A = this chain, B = another copy of it.
């Protein structure tokens, strides 16, 4: 019987830090198989993936991941507590024994945080600050623990979700090394850089500088693909914000406190996405929150669609070992494993992923769902 460790990722794009994390996860746990639950074409911070989910799946499997499962849009493009809950459910549904994740401070007492967190209700907010920072200050006051690094926040999310599900997974926090997640530029020393520094270099036409920070297969992908950015979707976003009536915009998930009026007014004025973001920004709304909201606008996403728990396993690709593991678990799966996409499957399961994929397809002309089979790589 093969055992599996789960990893939650965006692989945007897959780099040496991801490779290190994956190897450490196998080393620490002794797992035979790595299952990655990966965001599809849109990411947690409300941005399009730099390359589509198929390219990123290929890079992941080429570098040691055995199975890639798509994290559904309604979990992937969400604040960390919803994101991590969806991911933990899928890792669990794939019968993984462990969940490994990077953390800036892997020795944090997650249980202490879990037990001291406030209720997430409407009374817990202030109108001049983002929710997350209020939440973190509350925890700091109660526990003395400062939770403000992006991977630590996700680590807490995974721990909390696992705890709420009755702790089906053994958690394996792995110390992040060699890069600051928020570091914007590639550093001359070392072989590990943040994904955002790598993306910035790619967007600035400095592709050759990326070489030493990514595995070879990622570098070929970068050389062969046009990188996608929000600028590609700006004409569509602007169109929708300008032309849709306020009453329709109001129905979008997270369109609260009348921000639809602000978005519309700024879309009429702005002629680039960057200008638009600057016009919309306030103390209360982080760039991430605004970008997520814009992504929901593109997908016409309603609360009913977005407050779903993952109820399917969309298989994007697997290695030969992954195939053995899939055969081992397939009769025990509690969620349907989706390998072929047709109108019926879209209607019943993949509605949002299909819509998110069509957005990509309208830009890069590559089918994202219809007629696509899971990638089978290696031997």
Residue A163 at the B interface, CB < 8 A?
no
A304: min CB distance to chain B, Å: 11
A242 and B367 alpha carbons, distance in the complex (Å): 14
A64: min CB distance to chain B, Å: 35
Flag if B236 contacts A235 (CB, 8 Å). yes
CB-defined contacts of A242 to chain B, threshold 8 Å: 355, 358, 362
Residue A185 at the B interface, CB < 8 A?
no
A355 and B235 alpha carbons, distance in the complex (Å): 15
Residue A238 at the B interface, CB < 8 A?
yes
A33: min CB distance to chain B, Å: 36
- Which residues A223-276 have CB closer than 8 A to chain B? 235-236, 238-240, 242-245, 248, 268, 271
CB-defined contacts of A245 to chain B, threshold 8 Å: 300
A248 and B301 alpha carbons, distance in the complex (Å): 12
Residue A126 at the B interface, CB < 8 A?
no
Residue A36 at the B interface, CB < 8 A?
no
CB-defined contacts of A235 to chain B, threshold 8 Å: 235-236, 362
A236 and B240 alpha carbons, distance in the complex (Å): 9
| A297 nearest in chain B by CB position | B243
Flag if A299 contacts B359 (CB, 8 Å). no
A235 and B298 alpha carbons, distance in the complex (Å): 13
CB-defined contacts of A123 to chain B, threshold 8 Å: none
Give chain A's interface secondary structure class.
helix
Contact of A239 among B268, B362, B370 (CB under 8 A): B362
CB-defined contacts of A240 to chain B, threshold 8 Å: 239-240
CB-defined contacts of A362 to chain B, threshold 8 Å: 235, 238-239, 242
A298 and B242 alpha carbons, distance in the complex (Å): 10
Residue A348 at the B interface, CB < 8 A?
no
Chain B CB count within 10 A is highest, among A243, A271, A355, for: A243
Flag if B236 contacts A239 (CB, 8 Å). yes
Q: Knowing A235-B236, A236-B235, A248-B248 touch, does A243 contact B358 (C-beta < 8 A)?
A: yes
CB-defined contacts of A239 to chain B, threshold 8 Å: 236, 239-240, 298, 359, 362
Flag if B243 contacts A298 (CB, 8 Å). yes
CB-defined contacts of A355 to chain B, threshold 8 Å: 242-243
Q: Knowing A235-B236, A236-B235, A239-B236 touch, does A244 contact B365 (C-beta < 8 A)?
A: no
Flag if A358 contacts B300 (CB, 8 Å). no
CB-defined contacts of A243 to chain B, threshold 8 Å: 298-300, 355, 358-359
- Which residues A359-379 have CB closer than 8 A to chain B? 359, 362, 365, 370
A239 and B236 alpha carbons, distance in the complex (Å): 7
Q: Which residues of A contact B (CB under 8 A)?
A: 235-236, 238-240, 242-245, 248, 268, 271, 298-300, 355, 358-359, 362, 365, 370
Interchain residue pairs with CB less than 8 A apart (20): A236-B236, A236-B239, A238-B362, A239-B239, A239-B362, A240-B240, A242-B355, A242-B358, A242-B362, A243-B298, A243-B300, A243-B355, A243-B358, A243-B359, A244-B300, A245-B300, A248-B248, A268-B358, A268-B370, A271-B365
The 8 closest A-B pairs by CB, nearest first: A236-B239, A242-B358, A243-B300, A244-B300, A243-B355, A245-B300, A243-B299, A238-B362
